[in-house]
């Protein structure tokens, strides 16, 4: 039985997808490894830069095929979070994989068909992320280096260091994306976009979050606590959002029936009155009026404020 009613949905095991980016040396990898039960995919060969006490089991790889084999192994079961470090290096691995394995990656002259390669990279990047989050039901954190660019007025803007469309599409499924920086000598991650950097927040995670300094006593658990905060936010919003959604669906069902029954001026007048009296939720009122307008347009009638109801237009009816 795969149908779960909203009141029975369980968000206590909700997983998340996140992006952490920032300058080299800011501690992005260590921060990402503060997620629950992590495994690191070290595309960047940078695990040696993580303090020994914060290191975690790591997939050290030289090809994408090796990563796939490890990800598919039973050993993965114990991990809750997969950290991809860095997203930019992952794209480089995918380029290598596509060039070696895809028939259309080479032209007839034997040169690399860049367009085709990037097409495969984009598709595989999305498929890999989908597999981790939807099939394996694990958290995923993409770590990216940032690179400074100047906008047309010379202001500094921070960008993900990554080639191809992945640097845009990686944001689509991500729940939070934060830029890591020093603010007043305090390491801080910001989940709200600014002129200088893009960011993304949801489920109550937004704004600047200071990152605690890791001394001997403090556990590396920032992302674990962040995920838990988001999870609690989802659970607390659950009752209200379910009620609104159920009301919205009920109202829209009634509206569709009501509009289907409109055949002339009289029934249109009855429909507009009924729609006003329905109990509306979310955007059902605006959607209802749009649905009714489409129907009355097709019948050649229109609403007249002066007449206080529908009238024929352009000789219709």
Q: Given the rule CB under 8 A, which residues bind other proteins? A: 118-119, 122, 152, 157, 159-160, 163-165, 167-169, 171-172, 192-193, 195, 197-198, 200-202, 206, 244-245, 248, 280, 282-283, 285-287, 290-291
CB-nearer residue toward other proteins: 103 or 152: 152
- Rounded least distance, CB 283 to other proteins, Å: 5
- When the beta carbons of 157 and 235 are compared against other proteins, the nearer one is 157
Backbone angles phi, psi at 82, to 5 degrees: -110, 120
- The residue (of 157 and 311) whose beta carbon lies closer to other proteins is 157
CB of 197 to other proteins, least distance (A): 8
Look-up of token digits 């303090």: 51
Question: Taking the complex as a whole, how short is the minimal distance between the CB of residue 238 and other proteins, in angstroms?
Answer: 15
| E-state strands within the chain | 17-22, 38-42, 58-59, 81-85, 139-150, 156-160, 176-183, 186-190, 208-210, 301-304, 309-312
Least separation in angstroms between CB 241 and other proteins: 9
Query: Closer to other proteins at the Cβ: 172 or 185?
Result: 172
Q: Which is nearer to other proteins, 65 or 249 (CB)?
A: 249
The minimum distance between CB 108 and other proteins, in angstroms, equals 23
Instruction: Report d(CA 232, CA 14) in Å as an integer.
Output: 10
């Amino acid at each position: 039985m795969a149908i779960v009613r909203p009141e029975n949905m369980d968000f206590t095991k909700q997983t998340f997808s996140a992006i952490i980016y920032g300058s080299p040396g800011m501690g992005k990898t260590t921060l990402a490894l503060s997620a629950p039960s992590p495994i690191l995919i070290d595309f960047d060969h940078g695990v040696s830069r993580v303090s020994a006490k914060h290191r975690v089991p790591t997939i050290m790889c030289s090809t994408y095929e090796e990563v796939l084999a490890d990800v598919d192994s039973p050993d993965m079961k114990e991990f809750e979070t997969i950290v991809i470090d860095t997203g930019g290096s992952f794209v480089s691995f995918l380029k290598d994989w596509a060039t070696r394995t895809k028939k259309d990656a080479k032209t007839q002259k034997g040169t690399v068909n860049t367009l085709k390669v990037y097409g495969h990279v984009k598709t595989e990047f999305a498929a890999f992320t989908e597999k981790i989050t939807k099939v394996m039901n694990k958290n995923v954190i993409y770590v990216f280096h940032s690179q400074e660019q100047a906008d047309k007025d010379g202001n500094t803007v921070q960008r993900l260091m990554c080639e191809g469309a992945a640097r845009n599409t990686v944001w689509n499924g991500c729940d939070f994306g934060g830029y890591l920086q020093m603010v007043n000598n305090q390491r801080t991650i910001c989940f709200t976009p600014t002129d200088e950097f893009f960011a993304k927040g949801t489920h109550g995670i937004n704004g600047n979050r200071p990152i605690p300094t890791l001394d001997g006593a403090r556990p590396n658990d920032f992302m674990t606590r962040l995920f838990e905060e988001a999870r609690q936010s989802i659970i607390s919003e659950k009752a209200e959002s379910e009620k609104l959604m159920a009301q919205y669906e009920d109202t829209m069902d009634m509206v569709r029936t009501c509009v289907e029954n409109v055949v002339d001026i009289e029934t249109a007048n009855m429909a507009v009155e009924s729609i006003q009296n329905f109990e509306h939720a979310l955007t059902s009122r605006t959607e209802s009026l749009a649905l009714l307008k489409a129907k009355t347009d097709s019948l050649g009638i229109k609403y007249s404020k002066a007449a206080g109801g529908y009238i024929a237009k352009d000789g219709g009816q």
